[in-house]
Amino acid sequence: MSLAVKAVGVRKSFGSHEVLKGLDLEVAYGEVLCILGPSGSGKSTFLRCINHLEVPDSGYVWVDGSIMGYEHRGDVLQELPVARLRAQQRRLGMVFQHFNLFAHRTVLGNVIEGPMVVRGLRRTEAEARAMQLLDQVGMAGRASSYPAQLSGGQKQRVAIARALAMEPSVMLFDEPTSALDPELVGEVLEVMRGLAKGGTTMIVVTHEIGFAREVADRVLVMIDGEIRETGKPGQVLSEPGDPRVRTFLSRVLS
């Protein structure tokens, strides 16, 4: 399998607090990786470093053939102009914990915004593709609704369709079900399960241990800005070697 994402020595501090302490990671195309860990362990920050919403203090992330935000020139990493960074970022579909739908656009408007503005598709083309995607996430019937009229689960499914509309190489999910009422979690996980089955490369920061066990090809546990354990879900979740990972898992599984 060829590599989709490779993080090399990613470090990030907020003030004097070091959130990421030099992380390395490789994700292959078609792989589904779930990142678990207690709150404040740096999972979300790491995910945001992957698509350069946060800039690593040192180290870098290589995605789909290029280094995010930089160009390797001689012995330096030269910062890229914003337009080229955005061209890299759109290869990573991002799904946020709080959906972040464009409040002034309808469901359909949210999905066609990127394809029309960034990819330069004509409206009819963009809408036809968007309706397919909305159908895939079960939201085609609400295409003309505004985000404020939707439930959390519906918003998140629209957000997934919006990310997919850019035809990304990798999908990133930042705690996609954490802001949802418990009875709405299932519909979002169902959509994600479908994507995983379809061969989409996914990196999922989540607290849904059950989802990780069932869907992930590989699970990674972060504690205090370090990767403490990584491997097949069955192995990591059932017999973790690291004592702190064992403590964390026993707390969330109980």
Partner 1 sequence: MSTLQTPSPTSVPHVPDLPRADTPKRQRAHPGRWISAVIGLALLALLVRAFAMGQIRWDVVGQFLTARVIIVGFGWTLLISACALALGVALGFAFGIMRTAANPTLRFAAWLYVWIFRGTPVLLQLLIWFNIGLVFPRLYIPGLIDERMVDVITPFVAAVLGLGVNEGSYLTEVVRGGIGSVDRGQIEAAHTVGMTPGQTMRRIVLPQTLRLILPTLGNSAVGMLKFSSLAATIAMGEMLNAAQRIYFINGAVIELLFVCAIWYLAGTTMLSIGQFYLERHFGRGAAGSEPGKQWFRMRPRRAAVSGGA
Contacts with partner 1 by CB under 8 A lie at 51, 53, 82-83, 86-87, 89-90, 92-94, 96, 98-106, 113-114, 117-119, 146-148, 159, 162-163, 165-166
- Complex with partner 1: residue 1 or 103, whichever CB lies closer: 103
Amino acid letter, residue 197: K
- Complex with partner 1: residue 91 or 228, whichever CB lies closer: 91
Q: How far is the CB of 182 from partner 1 (least distance, A)?
A: 23
- Complex with partner 1: residue 62 or 99, whichever CB lies closer: 99
With residues binned 3-state (H G I as helix, E B as strand, rest as coil), the percentages for the chain, rounded to 5, are 40, 30, 35
Q: How far is the CB of 97 from partner 1 (least distance, A)?
A: 9
- Complex with partner 1: residue 142 or 213, whichever CB lies closer: 142
Q: How far is the CB of 167 from partner 1 (least distance, A)?
A: 11
**What is the rounded distance in angstroms from the CA atom of residue 171 to the CA atom of residue 201?**
6
- Complex with partner 1: residue 164 or 249, whichever CB lies closer: 164
Q: How far is the CB of 149 from partner 1 (least distance, A)?
A: 8
Residue 16 in tokens? 């004097």
Name the DSSP letter for residue 250. H
**What is the rounded distance in angstroms from the CA atom of residue 211 to the CA atom of residue 193?**
8
**What is the rounded distance in angstroms from the CA atom of residue 164 to the CA atom of residue 202?**
12
- Complex with partner 1: residue 100 or 136, whichever CB lies closer: 100
Q: How far is the CB of 164 from partner 1 (least distance, A)?
A: 11
What is the SS3 string spanning 16-37? CEEEEEEEEEEEECCCEEEEEC
Residue 9 Rama label (left phi>0; alpha psi -120 to 50; beta): left
Q: How far is the CB of 105 from partner 1 (least distance, A)?
A: 7
Q: How far is the CB of 47 from partner 1 (least distance, A)?
A: 11
Considering only CA atoms, give the Rg of the chain.
18
Place of tokens 């004509």: 122
- Complex with partner 1: residue 45 or 245, whichever CB lies closer: 45
Residue 5 in tokens? 């994402």
**What is the rounded distance in angstroms from the CA atom of residue 253 to the CA atom of residue 237?**
9
